[in-house]
Structure formats: C-alpha cells, structure tokens
Structure 1
Amino acid sequence: MSRSLEGKVAVVTGAGGGIGSSVAKRLAELGCRVTVNDLDEAKAKSVTEHITREGGQARLAAGDASDAATVAQIMDGTVDTFGGLDIVVNTAGLIGQVRHFLDADEEWWDRVLRVNLRSVFLCSHAAAKYMVAQGSGVIISTSSGGATRAHRGEVAYDASKGGIEAMTRAMALDLGPYGIRVNAVSPGSINVAPPGAVSEEQLAERGMTVPLGRVGVPDDLAATYAFLASDEARYITGVVVPVDGGMIVQQRSPQVDIFGHDQFPRLGRLSRRT
C-alpha cells in the first residue's frame, strides 16, 4: 500500500495516543495530509511533530470532538488548509469507565455516550457535508467487541459501541448514493497503556484469552484503517471489521474450554508462554 493515499486529506480524532496516533501516522506514511485532533493538546502536538519530522504533512487541531462548535472548526480548518476532506477516522473515546450498573448515574452515562457516540455523529455529519459536495469520501469509526458481546461493568461503554455499529450501517445506506463509504473497525484486547504501565506478566495473562496468543498493540490496527480508507476498499461499505486476534469467534476462553490448549498437538505449553 506504499503511498496509496497520496494527496488525500484526513481528519483523525483522538489521535494523541493509542490507536488514533498509530492511524494518523500510518495515513501520513501513505501520503495523506492529516489533521491531528485530540483533547490533550500536548499529545496531539507530539503526533503532529512526528509526522512532519518524518516528511509528512499534518496540522494540529486540539479540542473536544464531542462539541459541535469545535468539530466545525476542525473540519473547516482542514478544508481551508488542505483544500478538501476525503477521510474521517473517529477514534476519540473513553475507556476504563468501569461501574456496575447498580452504581450507575446519569452523569456517568451521559459522559460516556457524549464522548464515544455523540462525537462520531458530529464529526461524521460535519464531514459528510463536504464529502457530498465532491461526490466521494470515507468515514471510519472505532467499535469494540462490546458492541455485540458484553463487558462486566461497562453498560455505558458497550451501549456506545453498539450505537456506533448501528450508525455505521445506517450512515452507509444514507451516504452511499453520494459516493461516501462508511465502515468501522472493532479492536480486540489492545494495550494502549504507556510503556511499563502494564507488566509483561499481566500482558501474558491477558494474552492467554486471545487465540493468537498475545494482546494486540495499536500498530496491529493501523493497516486495517488505512485499507478501508483506500481505493482498494472501494466496494466495501456498512461493515465492521474485527481486528482482535480471534477473540470474538471463540465461545469460551482457553482457560475454561473443554478442549484446552493443553490438548493441542505440540502446543501443550502455549497457555504458559510469557
């Protein structure tokens, strides 16, 4: 896919760290001019500087992607600077907002839905108006296995991700006639913590649940976003692509499966790998 997105213009929300930063850098490597958005200005600036240092084109647009006025500024500024808008990648979101349903309150619910779901609507809606005018465009959002399965203590998060998948399908139908494709990526267990924040032992334990045997990293996802943004995916719309090492396909984790890893030919010690 070398330089497969040459000359395209992209906005990546939540691009200051984790998955978003890897996506922004990958799009830039492939020739995109990228607007780097994040609520944390210092992190967004760091990613912007990385892209320009590597010879790419990027602009900083710090701010809250769940605020309509801010989103308008992000999109308008992108068009004013780069002359168009071809790709929007929605990765801004809250994780780790764990709370049992009986301990939930409206503030918790509203905050998670605002950041995770409202931001996708606002950014997609604002971008679509530009894309309709040019007769083409790509919108890619970030879902989760929680959209179709469930996490304990994550009612608001799972509801927001289910909403993203429903929006993806519905927007694909509404925007397809205008040449706009809408898809989503569903990451699995991805380590987005700073280096050293999670021990190797903890990562190994989490990886035991993944059929491919390890926890993912943001770079495992970036190529999928880039593919969906490219003309190679020109006939793909309305789908959610899981990038999860096989987590969703299994009925039980290896630890409790009737046919465990200890019974696999030549892989009897797989579950003990570190």
Structure 2
Amino acid sequence: MSESRNALVTGGTRGLGLTVARRLAAEGWHTTVIGLDEGRLEKVQAMAEAECLELRAIRADVTSEESVRELFAGLTATRPLHLCVNNAGGNLSRLLVKKRRGRQSDELVTHPLEEWERTVRLCLTGVFLVGREAAAAMIRHEVPGAIVNVSSGLAVGAYGQSAYTAAKAGVEALTRTWSYELGQYGIRVSAVAPGVMDGEALREKTSSFPRHARYMEGLQRFVPLGRWGMEEEIADAVCFAAESPYLTGSVIRIDGGGPPGWVP
C-alpha cells in the first residue's frame, strides 16, 4: 500500500467504525476518523499515538452540510482522498402504531415524526452529504477511489424499525445509483450490510435490559451459523470492498445467513 493513500471513516470513534479505521491504518492508509464525542475522539487519538498508527480523529457532524463541507475543505485541500467509508449511524426501535391498554380505554401511541427525521438524517442524509463531497474530491483530484457505505441486514425490513430500515434501504439505493454515475470517473461504490454484531453497542444494551438480552438470545437461534458476527469480520468485508478493483454497485451481505428481519 502506498503511503499516499488517504481514507476517511465516519462514525469512527467506536465499534465497527473504529475497527475498520484501525485495520486501514495498520495496513498503511493515512486514516481520518470523525465523530461528535470529544472524549471518544481524544481516546482514539491517544490510542493511535500509542500504537504508532497513521490515524487522526477530528470532530465533524455528518448531518450538517456546513460541517461536512468544512471537513472536506480541510481534509482534501492539499491531498487527495482515495477511500470514504460511510459508517456513521444509529438504530432506533419504535413501532409505527402501538395500542397501549389502559383501565378506561385503549390509547394509540404513534411513531414520533421527530424520531423518524433524526434517524433518517443520520443514517441516510449523512451518507448523502459525505458521499457527495467525497465523490467531488475524488473527481477534482482525478483519483480512482472507492466509497463504501455501511448498510444493514435489516434493510429488507424488520419489526419495529420503520425509520432505520427505510434509511438503510435508501443507502443501498444510493450505492447502486452512485455506481452508475461515478463509474466513468473510475470511482467504485459498494456497500456492506452486516447482521447483528457482537460488539460494544450490543453488549451495553443487553447488560442494561435483561428482556432485550433474552430476545436477542432467542433470535440467535435463527442464524444458520448460530452466532453473531464479530466487528473484525465485518471489517474484513469493508476492506475487501475498498480494495477490489472490479467491485462496484454491489451490496455484500455478511450476516451468518440470517435472520432476514427481526420479529416480535
């Protein structure tokens, strides 16, 4: 790997994003991760220095057009960008409509618009904003780069996941659309769709909510390989998508064979 290769990983201060960033940096990429939590950014920077990795952590908000433009103005002013990994996102479980049974009458609770908009803005609009600026930078510097979007095995639909599944389905549509548009510039666009990952986020939630832990334990029985994926395994797929010279427009599903969607 040439030392001049530069990569950007959004949502790179924890979980899959950090695992991907560390892998890229260890393989010689000059890697930049972005996030919002100052404490996590400082920890990542300290880790990179301790491990002598070519990795830097800076603050940027993928949901803000101004913040994304400022990020790329500084990131690509003097050097090209070869790889953009759109990983930032966040899940939200909310039923479209739920009947809450009370003593007097049944009350209907509906999915709040604000939660829908927040989830879609983070998981889909953020991918659009970062992907747009990454593509423009690659074209400007005449770099045959790659954009790898992180989708989800739930993009096909899942119980209680209206906003998240719609956003991830949109990410996959953007992936195919951009591959058609950007191929003429030598830019490859692909996506990786993980199933459930046995990582920090899952462990935090299952340890805090015993009911959720029991639900996830039961759900695991429907995975043919009988276990959740490891973040390192998903990072393998991201790095493959980044390096493969003839891969574009594809969604790599890496979920142990299922399940196809979460059910109650």
TM-align CA RMSD: 2.3
Bigger strand fraction: 2
**What secondary structure sits across from 2:200 in the alignment?**
coil
Q: Which residue of 2 aligns with 1:104?
A: 111
Q: Distance in 2 between matches of 1:80 and 1:195?
A: 38
Contiguous gaps of at least 5 residues in structure 1: 254-274
Q: Distance in 2 between matches of 1:53 and 1:195?
A: 27
Does 2:254 align with 1:246?
A: no
CA distance 1:16–1:176, shift in 2 (3 Å): same
Q: How much has 1:132 moved relative to structure 2? A: 0.8
Q: How much has 1:54 moved relative to structure 2? A: 1.6
Which of the numbers 183, 206, 228 marks the counterpart of 2:190?
183
Which of the numbers 52, 63, 87 marks the counterpart of 1:91?
87
CA distance 1:70–1:208, shift in 2 (3 Å): same
CA distance 1:152–1:196, shift in 2 (3 Å): closer
**What secondary structure sits across from 2:222 in the alignment?**
coil
Q: Distance in 1 between matches of 2:202 and 2:223?
A: 21
Q: 1:53-202 counterparts in 2 under 5 A? A: 53-80=50-77, 83-95=79-91, 97-102=92-97, 103-133=110-140, 134-148=142-156, 150-193=157-200, 197=204, 198=206
**What secondary structure sits across from 2:135 in the alignment?**
helix
1:247 maps to a residue whose letter is G
Q: Distance in 1 between matches of 2:227 and 2:261?
A: 18
CA distance 1:207–1:74, shift in 2 (3 Å): same
**46-55 vs 16-25, greater mean Cα deviation:** 46-55
User: Are the aligned partners of 2:8 and 2:85 in contact in 1 as well (CA < 8 Å)?
Assistant: yes
**What secondary structure sits across from 2:35 in the alignment?**
coil
Q: Distance in 2 between matches of 1:251 and 1:107?
A: 24
CA distance 1:146–1:106, shift in 2 (3 Å): same
TM-score by length of 2: 0.85
Using the aligned pairs only, state the percent identity: 35
Q: Distance in 2 between matches of 1:44 and 1:210?
A: 34
Contiguous gaps of at least 5 residues in structure 2: 98-109
2:173 maps to a residue whose letter is A
Q: How much has 1:209 moved relative to structure 2? A: 2.3
